[in-house]
Amino acid sequence: MTDPISLTAVEAAAALRRGELSPRELFDAYRQRAAADDTNSFTWLADDPTTAGAGGFGGEDRGVPGADTVLAGLPVAIKDLFCITGVPTAACSNLLRGYRPPYTATVVARLQEAGATILGKTNQDEFAMGSSNENSAFGPVRNPWDRSRVPGGSSGGSAAAVAAGLAPVALGTDTGGSVRQPAALCGVVGLKPTYGTVSRYGMIAFASSLDQAGPISRTVADTALLFQHMTGPVDPRDATSIGWGGADELGLPTAERLDGLRIGVPVELLGEGVEPGVRAAFDAALRRAEDLGAEVTDVALPHARHALAAYYVLAPAEASSNLSRFDGVRYGNRVDADDLVSLYTRTRHDGFGPEVKRRIMLGTFALSSGYYDAYYGRAQQVRTKIVEDFRAAHEQVDLIATPTSPTVAWKLGERVDDPLAMYQADTSTLPFSLAGVPAISIPCGLSEGLPVGLQLSGPVFSEQRILEAAHALEQAIGFDGTPALGLDAVTDGGAANGGAA
């Protein structure tokens, strides 16, 4: 019997459906590794005796999914930003520490209906605000490739858990790059779908016009498998959700060639700040694409360089409004006071971490009387220009390629005192977020022994084309993720201990 950890999610789900692998066996294999984790990727694990009633196998005591379901018991790690009935959900904030939601996010419920079980909740930057997972009330996550380095953020726990073989697949969220950038820094695959294709109901809101749930996995096909069951019909509980056929319309990718595919490279996103090693791995990936038959050309995104400024007005503005609900009245933790306003202000002072406070202040300022037009109004106009840039670019090319992150994973603590340096980690992902288009990050090589991500993006609803191209490139590149996986046994047939200490 092969070590179940070494199976891809597609392979594991097939083995579960055929009855060659039991859901309990697969769950226990990952649960055991996750319990022995030294990357701090999880904030809570299912089947935890201290959370009886909420933490039964698969969460919510739902019982074991049948072999007649597609995922048939595949364990999924869920970012702490998603509500699951009775399961501790804190968005990694002290303000919500201990909160047990009375409802489950639609995307989680859809995965459960497809047969997924909940393995645990993963660490993240508080309220998804950060690019290094150092803004977590549950402590930073360590990168499985080098434990002195950050995993990226904000879905750092989800990316690290998948990279380290603690979960077969994970759910993350991406507002400005929070699925793609940690996937890149941890050497795994991450997809930010077209805005609206996955319901946001039950996903704690950061910036509602940008937030989107996305899968993180070790292979492109695994990301496709998860995404098939995340999307679906319009969710009446999310007015911005867009109905899509899910598994009926999206297939698992099989492409081996890229003949006729036009890939555009925006020069605006390859300027200063891109490390030479990242550039080299990116250029090598483009040559692979040409070898497979793609045509690589330059393309212009003239307003992309303004995306950072527009994003850091729009996202904090929306956050300052969304986070007003955390006032110590209906849920979460409270600091008692004699008067109501002091109850609000002290609760928020003690509950929020420094970066969340900074963004609430920034957003409140940008929306305040006298500054609204100069900041929020202009940022929305810049977003229009960026949307137009992408539309024009896609009249010339099918897909757009960039490095996902201008750098590889940096040292823990290196940027914590410099918010701007931290914000600049997302320069390559932000324009795509503002345009609302889908984008994937796949590992395309190493620089200084650390993973480099390739970002591939297309027009809205072009997920299938992106997944096919990413799959063909993945096969051609042959990235080796085993150093982070800690599974020496994978290549020689598998051992039962799975590396759990």
Catalytic residue among 41, 93, 136, 178: 178
Give the nearer residue to another protein in terms of CB position, either 99 or 494: 99
Site for another protein in 111-140 (CB under 8 A): none
Give the nearer residue to another protein in terms of CB position, either 211 or 222: 211
**Least distance from another protein to the Cβ atom of residue 358, Å:** 6
Whether 238 and 266 have beta carbons less than 8 Å apart is answered as no
The dihedrals phi and psi of 107, each to the nearest 5 degrees, come to -65, -35
Give the nearer residue to another protein in terms of CB position, either 420 or 496: 420
SS (H, E, C) 181-225: HHHHHHCCEEEECCCCCCCCCCECCCCCCCCEEEEEECCHHHHHH
| Residue 354 burial class via C-beta count within 10 angstroms: exposed 0-12, middle 13-18, buried 19 and up | exposed
Q: Which of 254, 297, 384, 396 binds another protein (CB under 8 A)?
A: 384
Helix, strand or coil, per DSSP, at residue 446: strand
Query: What's the rounded Cα separation, in Å, for the pair 228 and 134?
Result: 31
Annotated active-site residue 155? The verdict is no
The letter for the amino acid at 308 is L
Catalytic residue among 6, 41, 79, 121: 79
Give the nearer residue to another protein in terms of CB position, either 50 or 369: 369
State the Rg of the chain over Cα: 21
Helix, strand, coil % over all residues of the chain, rounded to 5: 40, 15, 45
The dihedrals phi and psi of 216, each to the nearest 5 degrees, come to -130, 135
Give the nearer residue to another protein in terms of CB position, either 272 or 492: 272
Site for another protein in 6-35 (CB under 8 A): none
Give the nearer residue to another protein in terms of CB position, either 262 or 372: 372
> Across the chain, how many H-helices and E-strands are there?
15, 11
Catalytic residue among 93, 132, 136, 154: 154
**Least distance from another protein to the Cβ atom of residue 132, Å:** 17
Whether 115 and 63 have beta carbons less than 8 Å apart is answered as no
Q: Which of 333, 359, 357 is nearest to 347 (CA)?
A: 333
Q: Which of 142, 180, 306, 465 binds another protein (CB under 8 A)?
A: 306
How many other CB atoms are there within 10 angstroms of residue 495's CB atom?
A: 14
Query: What's the rounded Cα separation, in Å, for the pair 500 and 457?
Result: 37
Site for another protein in 216-235 (CB under 8 A): 234
Q: 483 is written with which tokens?
A: 């150093």
Q: Who's near 451: CB < 8 A, 6+ residues apart?
A: 145, 184, 185, 186, 187, 408, 409, 443, 445, 479, 481, 484
**Least distance from another protein to the Cβ atom of residue 222, Å:** 26
Residues 261-300, mask of contacts with another protein (x by CB under 8 A): ----------------------------------------
Site for another protein in 164-203 (CB under 8 A): 194-196
Query: Cα–Cα distances in Å, from 62 out to 54, 57, 109, 299, 429?
Result: 10, 8, 11, 50, 37
Q: Is 381 in the site for another protein (CB under 8 A)?
A: yes
**Least distance from another protein to the Cβ atom of residue 229, Å:** 21
Annotated active-site residue 208? The verdict is no
Query: What's the rounded Cα separation, in Å, for the pair 298 and 294?
Result: 13
**Least distance from another protein to the Cβ atom of residue 417, Å:** 10
How many other CB atoms are there within 10 angstroms of residue 325's CB atom?
A: 12
Q: Please tell me the count of residues contacting another protein according to CB under 8 A.
A: 72
Q: Which of 2, 22, 32, 380 binds another protein (CB under 8 A)?
A: 380
Query: What's the rounded Cα separation, in Å, for the pair 198 and 261?
Result: 27
Query: What's the rounded Cα separation, in Å, for the pair 84 and 97?
Result: 14
Helix, strand or coil, per DSSP, at residue 376: helix
**Least distance from another protein to the Cβ atom of residue 436, Å:** 3
Give the nearer residue to another protein in terms of CB position, either 146 or 327: 327
**Least distance from another protein to the Cβ atom of residue 263, Å:** 23
Q: Which of 1, 36, 52, 239 binds another protein (CB under 8 A)?
A: 239
Site for another protein in 455-494 (CB under 8 A): 460
Annotated active-site residue 428? The verdict is no
The letter for the amino acid at 381 is Q
Give the nearer residue to another protein in terms of CB position, either 156 or 328: 328
Give the nearer residue to another protein in terms of CB position, either 35 or 343: 343
**Least distance from another protein to the Cβ atom of residue 332, Å:** 7
Site for another protein in 81-110 (CB under 8 A): 99-103
**Least distance from another protein to the Cβ atom of residue 400, Å:** 16
Site for another protein in 314-373 (CB under 8 A): 320, 324, 327-334, 337-346, 348-349, 352, 357-358, 360-362, 364-365, 368
Site for another protein in 385-404 (CB under 8 A): 385, 387
Which one of 116-124, 175-183, 216-224, 239-247 is the stretch in contact with another protein (CB under 8 A)?
A: 239-247
**Least distance from another protein to the Cβ atom of residue 77, Å:** 24
- What are 413-418's contacts with CB under 8 Å, separation 24+? 413/134, 414/150, 415/132, 416/132, 416/134
Q: Which of 153, 246, 353, 436 binds another protein (CB under 8 A)?
A: 436
Active site residues: 79, 154, 178
